[in-house]
C-alpha cells in the first residue's frame, strides 16, 4: 500500500508544470535550510538527504530526457534505501562517521542539481517565468552545496577548528557563512582558519559572482513575455 502511495505521489509531482516544479524545488530548498539549521546528528541529516534526493529528481524531470529521468528515478530510490540504512547504522553504532558521510553526499547532490539547472537555463531559447524560477533555484542550490562542503570539512578536519577561535561552527553558522560568502557580503565575524575551508570560501565567492554575470544576466537581458500576452496587448491597443 505504501509503495502504491509513493507511486501516486511521484505521478502527482510529474504532473506539475515545469515552472511549478521549479517552484517546488525552491520550497524543498527552504525545507532543507530549516532542517539543516535545526539538525542534530545523523537522523536529521538523513531526512535532509531524502529531501535532497527528491529535489534532484524534480530537477531531472524538468530538464532531462526520458531516459535520464528513468535513470535518475532509479538512482533516487537506491539512494533513499541507502540513506535509511545509514540512518539505522548511525542509531546503532554511533553517528559521527555516518554524519560525515551524509555531509559529503549532501554536498555532491547539491553539486549535481545546480549544474543541471544552469544547463537547462542556457539551453532554453525563451526566457520566461520558468527560467526565472530556475535561476533562483540554482543560486540557492549553490549556497546550500557550499554549506554542506563546509560542514563536511569541519566534521572531517577536526584540528584546527573550522572557524578557529570561534570553534568548529554549527550548522546554522555554516549556512550563514555560506550565503554571506556567496553574495560577497563579508561581515567578517566568521572566517575559516585553514584550507580547504579557505579555498572553498574563495571558490564560492567567485562562483557566486560568475553566476550573477552569466545566468542572471541572460535572464534579465532576454526576458520577454509569452507571445500570447504580447498578441493580446497588441490587439487591445489596436482596438
Give counts: helices (H), strands (E), the chain. 10, 0
Of the ranges 85-89, 176-180, 217-221, 233-237, which one carries the lowest mean pLDDT score? 233-237
- Please give the pLDDT value at position 229: 46
Quickly state the pLDDT bin for 94 (edges 50, 70, 90). low
Nearest to 218 by CA among 132, 142, 138, 129: 132
**Higher local confidence (pLDDT), 107 or 70:** 107
Q: Is 127 helix (H, G, I), strand (E, B) or coil?
A: strand
Q: Is 223 helix (H, G, I), strand (E, B) or coil?
A: strand
Of the ranges 48-62, 133-147, 215-229, which one carries the lowest mean pLDDT score? 215-229
Nearest to 44 by CA among 52, 35, 53: 35
Residue 194 backbone phi and psi in degrees, to 5: -150, 175
Give domain limits for the chain.
2-225
Quickly state the pLDDT bin for 93 (edges 50, 70, 90). low
> CA torsion, points 156, 83, 147, 164, in degrees to nearest 10?
-20
d(CA 119, CA 64): 10
All three cell numbers of 103, joined, read 555531509
Reported in sequence order, the residue ranges of 10-98 that DSSP labels E, i.e. its strands, are: none
**Higher local confidence (pLDDT), 147 or 97:** 147
Task: Report, as an integer, the average pLDDT of 19-27.
Answer: 85
Q: Are 171 and 99 in contact (CB under 8 A)?
A: no
Q: Is 207 helix (H, G, I), strand (E, B) or coil?
A: helix
Q: Identify the H or E element spanning 216.
A: none
- Please give the pLDDT value at position 178: 97
- Please give the pLDDT value at position 75: 87
How does pLDDT run across 47-88, given as a tens digit for each residue? Answer: 899 999 999 888 888 876 777 778 888 888 899 998 888 878
For the cut 80, the answer to whether the pLDDT of residue 17 exceeds it is no
**Higher local confidence (pLDDT), 227 or 201:** 201
How does pLDDT run across 197-216, given as a tens digit for each residue? Answer: 999 999 999 999 999 888 87
In 94-128, where does DSSP find H-type helix? 96-123
- Please give the pLDDT value at position 1: 42
* pTM summary value: 0.83
pLDDT exceeding 90 applies to what percent of the chain? Answer: 41
Amino acid at each position: 500500500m505504501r509503495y502504491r502511495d509513493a507511486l501516486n505521489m511521484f505521478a502527482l509531482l510529474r504532473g506539475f508544470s515545469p515552472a511549478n516544479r521549479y517552484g517546488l524545488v525552491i520550497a524543498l530548498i527552504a525545507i532543507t535550510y530549516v532542517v539543516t539549521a535545526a539538525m542534530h546528528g545523523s537522523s536529521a541529516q538523513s531526512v535532509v538527504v531524502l529531501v535532497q534526493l527528491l529535489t534532484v529528481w524534480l530537477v531531472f524531470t524538468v530538464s532531462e530526457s526520458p531516459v535520464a529521468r528513468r535513470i535518475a528515478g532509479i538512482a533516487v530510490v537506491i539512494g533513499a534505501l541507502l540513506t535509511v540504512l545509514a540512518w539505522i547504522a548511525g542509531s546503532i553504532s554511533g553517528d559521527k562517521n555516518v554524519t560525515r558521510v551524509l555531509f559529503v553526499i549532501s554536498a555532491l547532490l547539491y553539486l549535481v542539481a545546480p549544474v543541471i539547472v544552469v544547463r537547462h537555463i542556457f539551453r532554453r531559447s525563451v526566457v520566461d517565468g520558468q527560467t526565472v524560477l530556475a535561476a533562483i533555484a540554482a543560486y540557492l542550490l549553490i549556497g546550500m552545496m557550499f554549506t554542506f562542503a563546509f560542514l563536511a570539512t569541519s566534521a572531517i578536519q577536526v584540528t584546527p577548528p573550522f572557524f578557529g577561535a570561534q570553534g568548529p561552527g554549527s550548522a546554522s553558522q555554516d549556512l550563514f557563512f555560506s550565503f554571506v560568502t556567496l553574495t560577497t557580503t563579508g561581515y567578517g565575524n566568521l572566517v575559516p582558519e585553514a584550507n580547504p575551508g579557505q579555498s572553498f570560501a574563495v571558490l564560492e565567492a567567485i562562483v557566486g559572482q560568475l553566476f550573477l554575470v552569466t545566468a542572471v544576466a541572460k535572464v534579465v537581458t532576454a526576458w520577454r513575455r509569452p507571445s500570447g500576452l504580447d498578441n493580446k496587448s497588441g490587439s487591445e491597443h489596436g482596438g
